[in-house]
Chain A
Amino acid sequence: MPTMRCSVLVTCVALAALSLPLRAQELTLPLKKNSVRFAVIGDMGNGSKEQYAVAGQMVAYHSKFPFDFVIMLGDDLIGGKDPEDYQKKFELPYKPLLDAGVKFYATLGNHDVSNERFYKLFNMKGQQYYTYKKGNVQFFVLDSNYMNPQQLAWLEKELQNSKSAWKICYFHHPLYSSGAYHGPSVELRHLLEPLFIKYGVQVVFAGHDHVYERVKPQHGIYYFTEGASGELRKGNLRKTDQTAAGYDQDRTFMLVEIAGDEFYFQTISRVGRTVDSGMIPRVAKTAASWPKVRPGPGGLPDRTVAKATGVKLTGAPTAAE
């Protein structure tokens, strides 16, 4: 009986992918040779039909943009944690991707349990926080539910030793967020941001607020919130002067391509609408001025990127603060 249920669900994902209108698969990413390609999802593990629809879009895009891995920003399994939940909330929606050899690298959210780190398909290798490399990119995956001094010391050591051109951190709680429900984790920002600045982290991803948001660069660091790949708080984004782009009307996921010194991103809604896209150039961490996001086609109109110079070390407060 469970096998039959599996087949029905997989068929649903496949049908959802096939029934997408052609415009839904417009790709703004350059598909450069030897680039690092990945997808980003957050707060997805609720087993809802919307999670399956987003997964369907990811499958559809994978055929045009063959990404090698997916980063998961936490709340990977919301609610129950029985073996059936692992199936319903992870294995089935992403089955076509898993079958295609796409790897998933998870971080833990506030709805996850510590022992999920032993689940092989999350690639955490039993660790609460860990690091891995893909080409010229090193990823630092943190447990923002429990940022103890050991983890901070580990992060500093790993960042210090990193020789990668791109340093990307991801964890569950956003350091900047215009989401009205949760908002930014200011205390965590006080501890993490000085390390990001010191060791040249360029991009940070988080979830938790069930919206999509790209924040104007803070001290040269680009912050993305992608917390709507299954869950959604419709209309919850209270855009501030820190918001570069945001979307809170439907579920979303991101596609990212890093080619040399260029970081391309495209954010796609459940129905295949591109809600944000652009390119971030890599600059030396000591550069006097921060780069602007060069808009890509199909994104929302709000493209203003303010220079972050002169902002206090801890960042300017948002309305939510």
Chain B
Amino acid sequence: MKRRIQVTHHLLWLSLLVFVVPGFASHRRQPPQDSEAARDFKPFLDRVKAYVKMQKKLEASLPALKSTKDPAQILERQHALATEIIAARRDALQGDIFTHEAAERFRKIIHKSFEGRAGHLARRTMQQDTPFKVVAMHVNDVFPENIPLTTTPPTLMLKLPELPPELAYRFVGRTLVLKDIKAELVVDLIPNALP
């Protein structure tokens, strides 16, 4: 009898942990729930990891980037890194990182995130930014510095796979770009990602 009570207590605590604790952390990441999504994202995340590994290796061959009063040094470093990466990925193609399955999964998540009231807010976030003439983007392009950034909707980012700090999700028009923020390069992209 005593043992049964103990087991019931443990079960109660366990259900508290499972159901209540995540509720408190409402703004935290809600990673893709189903195993199908996790499976579709695995190759994407593996390739992201491999990209960052390569970026770090190439970066190691350059002088370390420290805060400097000389903006020319920052730009030179950025261009040097971009040149190295472009050379190392000269054969890279669209879809190398956003694999077909991952791209489809991204499109589904993005489309769902732009539906309903929450979707209205996400759409507003993007519409709020300064309009600009959309430019066509390709893998290994330098991300144009003169176009204003479109805010990546924060509620959407809660649903997408987490990226390392070297990379960012950026929208340019309807295209989702995987951007290298140190080299300011287009790493990969999903055209027509937005509904």
Query: Which of B29, B124, B151, B158: most chain A CB closer than 10 A?
Result: B151
B148 surroundings in chain A (CB, below 8 A): 110-111
Cα–Cα distance between A116 and B72 once the two chains are bound (Å): 11
Are A190 and B121 CB-contacts (below 8 A) given A120-B69, A148-B154, A150-B165?
Answer: yes
Contact between B121 and A187 (Cβ–Cβ < 8 Å)? yes
Are A185 and B69 CB-contacts (below 8 A) given A115-B78, A145-B149, A149-B162?
Answer: no
Contact between A118 and B129 (Cβ–Cβ < 8 Å)? no
A113, CB-defined interface residue at 8 Å: yes
A152, CB-defined interface residue at 8 Å: yes
Contact between B145 and A81 (Cβ–Cβ < 8 Å)? yes
Contact between A83 and B71 (Cβ–Cβ < 8 Å)? yes
A146, CB-defined interface residue at 8 Å: yes
B17, CB-defined interface residue at 8 Å: no
A-B contact count (CB 8 A): 112
Say which residue of B70, B146, B168, B182 sits within 8 Å of A79 (CB atoms): B146
Residues of B within 8 A of A (CB): 27-29, 65-72, 74-75, 78, 121-122, 124-125, 128-130, 145-146, 148-155, 157-158, 162-163, 165, 168, 181-182, 184
A144, CB-defined interface residue at 8 Å: yes
Are A114 and B75 CB-contacts (below 8 A) given A80-B146, A119-B68, A146-B152?
Answer: no
Given contacts A110-B129, A114-B181, 16 further A-B contacts (CB under 8 A): A81-B145, A83-B70, A110-B130, A114-B182, A118-B68, A118-B74, A119-B67, A119-B71, A120-B69, A149-B29, A150-B165, A182-B129, A186-B121, A186-B124, A187-B155, A194-B27
8 contacts between A and B (CB under 8 A): A80-B146, A116-B74, A118-B67, A146-B152, A149-B27, A182-B128, A187-B121, A188-B154
In the assembled complex, the CB of A1 is this many whole angstroms from the nearest CB of chain B, namely 17
Cα–Cα distance between A124 and B154 once the two chains are bound (Å): 22
Residues of A within 8 A of B (CB): 79-83, 86, 110-116, 118-121, 124-126, 128, 144-150, 152-153, 173, 182-183, 185-188, 190-191, 194-195
Are A118 and B28 CB-contacts (below 8 A) given A185-B128, A186-B121, A187-B124?
Answer: no
Cα–Cα distance between A97 and B154 once the two chains are bound (Å): 36
Cα–Cα distance between A92 and B182 once the two chains are bound (Å): 27
Are A86 and B71 CB-contacts (below 8 A) given A115-B182, A150-B165, A173-B151?
Answer: yes
Contact between B154 and A191 (Cβ–Cβ < 8 Å)? yes
B69 surroundings in chain A (CB, below 8 A): 119-121
A150 surroundings in chain B (CB, below 8 A): 162, 165
Cα–Cα distance between A308 and B66 once the two chains are bound (Å): 45
Q: Closest 8 CB pairs between A and B? A: A147-B154, A187-B121, A86-B71, A114-B181, A149-B29, A110-B149, A120-B67, A83-B71
B154 surroundings in chain A (CB, below 8 A): 147-148, 152, 187-188, 191
A116 surroundings in chain B (CB, below 8 A): 74
Cα–Cα distance between A291 and B168 once the two chains are bound (Å): 41
In the assembled complex, the CB of B134 is this many whole angstroms from the nearest CB of chain A, namely 15
Cα–Cα distance between A123 and B126 once the two chains are bound (Å): 29
A148 surroundings in chain B (CB, below 8 A): 152, 154, 157, 162-163, 168
Are A146 and B67 CB-contacts (below 8 A) given A111-B148, A191-B154?
Answer: no
Contact between A152 and B28 (Cβ–Cβ < 8 Å)? yes
Cα–Cα distance between A145 and B66 once the two chains are bound (Å): 23
Are A144 and B151 CB-contacts (below 8 A) given A149-B162, A194-B27?
Answer: yes
Contact between A110 and B151 (Cβ–Cβ < 8 Å)? yes
Cα–Cα distance between A74 and B28 once the two chains are bound (Å): 26
Contact between B157 and A147 (Cβ–Cβ < 8 Å)? yes
Contact between B153 and A187 (Cβ–Cβ < 8 Å)? yes
Cα–Cα distance between A190 and B125 once the two chains are bound (Å): 12
**Nearest CB in chain B to that of A195: its residue:** B27
In the assembled complex, the CB of B98 is this many whole angstroms from the nearest CB of chain A, namely 18
Contact between B128 and A183 (Cβ–Cβ < 8 Å)? yes
Cα–Cα distance between A145 and B155 once the two chains are bound (Å): 13
Cα–Cα distance between A191 and B156 once the two chains are bound (Å): 12
A79 surroundings in chain B (CB, below 8 A): 146
In the assembled complex, the CB of B79 is this many whole angstroms from the nearest CB of chain A, namely 11
Contact between B184 and A115 (Cβ–Cβ < 8 Å)? yes
